[in-house]
Amino acid sequence: MAMMRRVKEKIKKIIKRPARSKKTAVKPARKKGVTRSQGKHLSAQTQPAPVQKETLGLNEVAIEKTKFSHPQVRRVQRALPQDLPGGYGKDRMILQVRDPWWLHTYWEVTLATWDSLKQRLKDMFHGAKKSLRVYDVSHIVFNGNNAHRYFDIELAHDANNWYIDTGGPGRSWVVDYGLKLANGEFVTIVRSNVVQTPLDGPSWVTDEEWMVPDEMFGRLYGMGFGMGHTSMGKAWQERMKKALFSGILSSPGISSAGSPVKKRAKGRNFWLVVDCELIVYGATEPDAAVTVQGKPIQLRPDGTFTMRYALPDGKQVIPVQATSSDKIEVRTITPVVTRQTHTDIAVKEEPAQDHVAAAV
Amino acid sequence: MNKGYLCLVLHSHLPFVRHPEHDDFLEEDWLYEAITETYIPLIWMCEKLMEDGIDFRMTMSLTPTLISMLTDPLLQGRYMRHINSLIELAHKEIERTTWQPQFQRLAIMYVNHFCRSRDTFEKYNRNLVVAFKSFQDAGKIEVITCGATHGYFPLMDVCRDSIKAQLKTAVAHYEKHFGRKPRGIWLPECGYYPGHDEMLREVGIKYFFTDSHGILHGTPRPKYGVFAPVYCKGTGVAAFGRDLESSKQVWSSIEGYPGDYNYREFYRDIGFDLEYEYIKPYIHPDGVRINTGIKYYRITGDTPHKEPYDPGWARETAASHAGNFMFNRQKQVEYLYDMIQRKPIIVSPYDAELYGHWWYEGPQWLDFLIRKLSCDQDTIRMITPSEYLAEHPRLQVITPSMSSWGYKGYSEMWMQGANDWIYRHLHEASYRMSELAHGYPHATGITRRALNQALRELLLAQSSDWAFILGTGTHTAYAVKRTKDHLLQFNRLYEDIKANSVDEEWLEDVESRDNLFPDIDYHYHS
């Protein structure tokens, strides 16, 4: 169960909270607009992070604070810039594979390049729309014109990176960032590297020397994914249905280590914990021998002593006995302590609940 | 005669966290907890297995960052301070729980565990890497390497020089600590991207691991699924695919062993449960409550009410789970053997820190499993990848598919709205490092030191852990800080080197803090 909780918590965070928390300092310029296919994904990112105090509690805030507190900085001070630069003064576009369906690209275009475009395009520049052109370049040497197909994505004005839904696993892609002019012409500003998305299922290529019947491969395939001895069709379907790559089996990674997150009761988040401890303390001659409940204890140099006990329900008889160093005198004092715990929970009905009940 | 093989793989990794500028640094506890709860219990297990004459095989990655921390005198000293403080607390707990025998016996258990940990730590002169080396030298475990700082390779494909630097640094570091070159590698996050095997081949690595779909979606189809390794087309580096069935039994939220109600509850720690003034000396100096490692409850059920932990029950449960795991592997192996007419290999990789730290009884389970495999049956033989390759050199040749063992199986964990901003900076730093490596082929003196430090800073910024933490959305501040600090330091070194004005005093300070890989060579980044 604990495992499940941990994984669930993590997944919940991954799914529900992709946005950076407000405390996070780094905020690079980000896309504002969204394409149709991107809408859900991006809007989730731009919303402020929901406050998750119910699971993380105050501890999280406090711990984060301690991470930031750097009391004595004794090192040599030549101040580093506080933040990373917004750009590096290069025209560049980088394309990376996120998974079989999605790519991510980021780009930078220098002011000089924008200026020369403005000069070149003159009036046409202002009506132009910043766009991505995504080329399917599988199995070809791309020369700019020979792509199997391409599609365009119109960008928000200030976007500097984008997730692209290719809809095509197992293919090669190149992306241009450029301007789409009013007359439909596309002017490339920067071109990305080529990437290849992985297949999202088994290859249809078999090799002669190691050929394997479909039925047998299907069974192996299912077993490899830990779905028992099913036939191929079923295993493949199930993989889709169950969304095997849901992250349940993914590595919990290191953030698990030392996680101070403490899980509390579900449902209503209110809770109360009460416990009791008993401190028994006293003093005698420093050289006396003292026992508590028959067990010898250590005195401080000044003859005082303190014992601390978790106090369960019930009666505790606690004889404290001191014997003088010459063994002539023995004194005993016996506190008797009783703990009795009652628990009572009262929950008032909330008006809202009636409302919900009525609606149901 | 055995009908198949089991290849147990433990991946041990922690990012480099070392802050001499602070007396007490929260994130350093990751290391101390893992030492007490995972690495030392695994060492005890191996020692005892060898003492009992059990012939076992296990594959274990120790990442270069982890090795660097385990061999660092400052952190070793701080671990001693940490364990001594825990021992003191556990002693106080014995007294405090006088009237609660159900907890007092656990307090005694912890005192014993902690004292033994300290003894073991001192026995190896505070250097636990030596222990793992001795098990490797005895032929029982095979230690493999990893990316130098656990950089996630698929998102470094556009600057392969950095992947080469990650690999070359790792291999040199491994050689220094283990006296020979590593044969295998655990790719960080199990992240494979087609073509990266070429760089593995260049540094002499013979095999790596992928997640199941890395093999199953490879081209052409793998004849034996994940139950035999393959050679990568063009390079001949072997790839072993993870078996998800055996993984599920340990990892899975639904079927996984660690959720058993008899096992120890991770979330109930006296660091949070006990009265503030009492526990204060043992939590963070700023007064923030943290886990101490002393936990008194078992999982009990899906309820906030928890019952006291019973080590005896937990041990029995671990034994029965080990039996169950072995039974399932036997059935799996027998079935596969009949089907493919060849001895299948079941590759079961796990995060090492799962054992002991998260799943307290994990090391016991592993111990039971190894003993049962070794003594109670002969269907399955434990094997290391090197041994397998020596015995079965003829394998199919395919191109594995891009894959990782992270969330959803690809790169999304490390590339999403919360962390995609880092790549713009990381890639630029990589290009700059390549520029430096080519522009200063024969640097000496302080320029050389600055170049070497620049590579250290770049590698540290590349740790997948920062992107991972940013992706999970909890405690992101530290991950942001680390990413930025290393990049800013890198950028300054780059500028200073180019301007021929390296500030020696500042460089010394950076070197003293980010002091891993003392023998690094900036030429690795080319």
Q: Where are the domains of chain B?
A: 4-71+129-260+324-408, 415-524
pLDDT of the residue at A78: 56
Query: Which of A78, A226, A262 is closest, CB to CB, to B503?
Result: A78
Does the pLDDT at position A38 exceed 60?
Answer: no
What is the mean predicted confidence (pLDDT) over B3-24?
A: 96
Count the Cβ atoms, other than its own, within 10 Å of residue B434: 18
Looking at the predicted structure, is the pLDDT value of residue A227 above 90? no
Cα–Cα distance, A136 to A149 (Å, whole number): 6
Q: Is the pLDDT of residue B11 over 50?
A: yes
Residue A233 confidence class, pLDDT cut points 50, 70, 90: low
Chain B residues with CB under 8 Å of A18 CB are 416-418, 473
| Rounded-to-integer distance, Cα B230 and Cα B220, Å | 11
pLDDT over threshold 90, residue A213: no
Residue-wise pLDDT for B82-92, tens only, equals: 999 999 999 99
Chain A residue closest in CA terms to B159: A94
Chain B residue numbers touching A220 (CB-CB < 8 A): 224-227, 339-340
pLDDT at A10 over 60: no
pLDDT at site A209: 77
Read off the pLDDT band of A352 (50, 70, 90).
low
Chain A from 135 to 154: CB within 8 A of any B CB: none
Distance from CA of A286 to the nearest CA of B (A): 21
Q: What is the mean pLDDT of residues B414-443?
A: 97
Q: What is the mean pLDDT of chain B?
A: 96
Q: Which amino acid is at B25?
A: F
What average pLDDT score do residues A120-128 get?
Answer: 91
pLDDT over 50 at B239, yes or no: yes
Q: Is the confidence at residue B288, as pLDDT, over 70?
A: yes
3-state secondary structure B245-265: HHHHHHHCCCCCHHHCCCCEC
Q: Sorting pLDDT into bands at 50, 70 and 90, what band is A64?
A: very low
Residues A268 and A22: beta-carbon distance below 8 Å = no
Q: Answer yes or no: is pLDDT of A49 > 70.
A: no
Is B354:B250 a contact under the CB 8 Å cutoff? yes
Least confident of A29-43, A329-343, B215-229, B499-513: A29-43
Average pLDDT, integer, range B110-131: 98
Question: Which pair of tokens denotes residue B293?
Answer: 């490692």
Best interface-test mutation with B: which of A15, A43, A220 has the largest number of B CBs within 10 A?
A220
Interface size between A and B, measured as CB pairs under 8 A: 362
Which residue of B36, B472, B485 is the best one to mutate when testing the A interface, meaning the one whose CB has the most A CBs within 10 A?
A: B472
Mean pLDDT lowest for which of A131-145, A228-242, B142-156, B207-221?
A228-242
Determine, for residues B410 and A223 on separate chains, whether the beta-carbon distance falls below 8 Å: no
| pLDDT attached to residue B262 | 96
In which band, very low, low, confident or very high, does the pLDDT at B121 lie, cut at 50, 70 and 90?
A: very high
**Mutation target among A10, A212, A246, A254 for the B interface, most CBs of B within 10 A:** A254
> Each residue of A257-275: pLDDT tens digit?
333 333 444 567 888 999 9
Give the tens place of pLDDT for each residue, B133-147.
999 999 999 999 999
Distance from CA of A216 to the nearest CA of B (A): 8
Between CA B266 and CA B257 the distance in angstroms is 14
> Taking residues A122-133, what's their average pLDDT?
93
Does residue A360 carry a pLDDT above 50? Answer: no
**Res A200 pLDDT > 70:** yes
Parts of chain A belonging to CATH 2.60.40.10: 92-196
Structure confidence at residue A255 (pLDDT):
34
Q: Which pLDDT value is given to residue B512?
A: 96
Band (pLDDT 50/70/90 cuts) for residue A228 is low
| Percentage of chain B lying above the pLDDT 90 cut | 93
* pTM, two decimal places: 0.86
Rounded to whole angstroms, how far apart are CA atoms B319 and B263? 12
Q: Give the one of B252, B275, B408 whose C-beta lies nearest to A277's C-beta.
A: B275
**Enclosing H/E stretch for B513:** helix B504-513
- Inter-residue contact B225 to A221 (CB < 8 Å): yes
For residues B360-382, give the mean pLDDT.
97
- Name the more confident of A271 and B371: B371
Residue B474 has a pLDDT of: 82
- Is it the case that residue B259 has pLDDT exceeding 80? yes
Check whether domain A92-196 has CATH 3.40.50.300, yes or no: no
A residues 274..333 contacting B (CB < 8 A): 275, 277, 293, 295, 307-312, 316
Is residue A67 scored above 90 in pLDDT? Answer: no
* DSSP labels, A104-149: EEEEE--HHHHHHHHHHHTTHHHH-EEEEEEEE-TTS---SS--SE
- Optimal mutation site among B216, B272, B306, B515, interface A, most CBs of chain A within 10 A: B216
Give the residue among A223, A225, A216 at the shortest CA–CA distance from B341. A216
Q: How far is B208 from chain A (nearest CA, A)?
A: 17
Q: Does residue A18 surpass a pLDDT of 50?
A: no
A130 has a pLDDT exceeding 80: yes
Convert the pLDDT of each residue in B197-232 to its tens digit. Answer: 999 999 999 999 999 999 999 999 999 999 999 999
DSSP string of B386-401, one letter each residue: HHHHHH-----EEBPP
- Predicted confidence at residue A208, as pLDDT, reads 73
Q: Which of A65-79, A181-195, A231-245 has the lowest mean pLDDT?
A: A65-79
**Of residues A267 and B496, which shows the higher confidence score?**
B496
CATH class of B4-71+129-260+324-408: alpha beta
Q: What is the pLDDT of residue B195?
A: 96
pLDDT of residue A230: 52
How far are the Cα atoms of B432, B451, B490, B525 from residue B444, in angstroms, in the given order?
A: 19, 10, 19, 17
Given a cut of 80, whether residue A196 has pLDDT beyond it is: yes
A69: chain B residues, CB-CB within 8 Å: 286
**Phi/psi of residue A161, nearest 5 degrees:** -160, 160
pLDDT for A127 equals 87
**pLDDT on residue A187:** 96
Q: Report the pLDDT value the prediction gives residue A126, as an integer from 0 to 100.
A: 87
* Helix segments in chain A, DSSP class H: 2-16, 39-46, 53-68, 111-121, 124-127, 214-224, 232-242, 351-359
Q: Which candidate, B111, B106, B103, places its Cα nearest to that of B87? A: B111
Structure-model confidence comparison of residues A73 and A218, the more confident one = A218
Closest chain A CA to residue B258: A3
Q: How confident is the model at residue A92 (pLDDT cuts 50, 70, 90)?
A: very high
Confidence band, pLDDT 50/70/90 cuts, at residue A72: very low
pLDDT in the model for residue A253: 41
List A residues 238-277 in contact with B (Cβ-Cβ < 8 A).
244-266, 271, 273, 275, 277
* CATH code of the domain occupying B415-524: 1.20.1430.10
Cα–Cα distance, A269 to A182 (Å, whole number) = 57
Nearest to A14 among B353, B407, B410 (CB): B407
Q: Within a 10 A sphere around the Cβ of A299, how many other Cβ atoms? A: 18
pLDDT for residue A267: 64
What's the pLDDT at B329?
A: 96
Judge whether B321 and B260 are in contact, CB under 8 Å. yes
Q: What is the mean pLDDT of residues A121-132?
A: 92
B241, B229 Cβ separation under 8 angstroms: yes
State the nearest Cα–Cα gap between B403 and chain A, in angstroms.
8
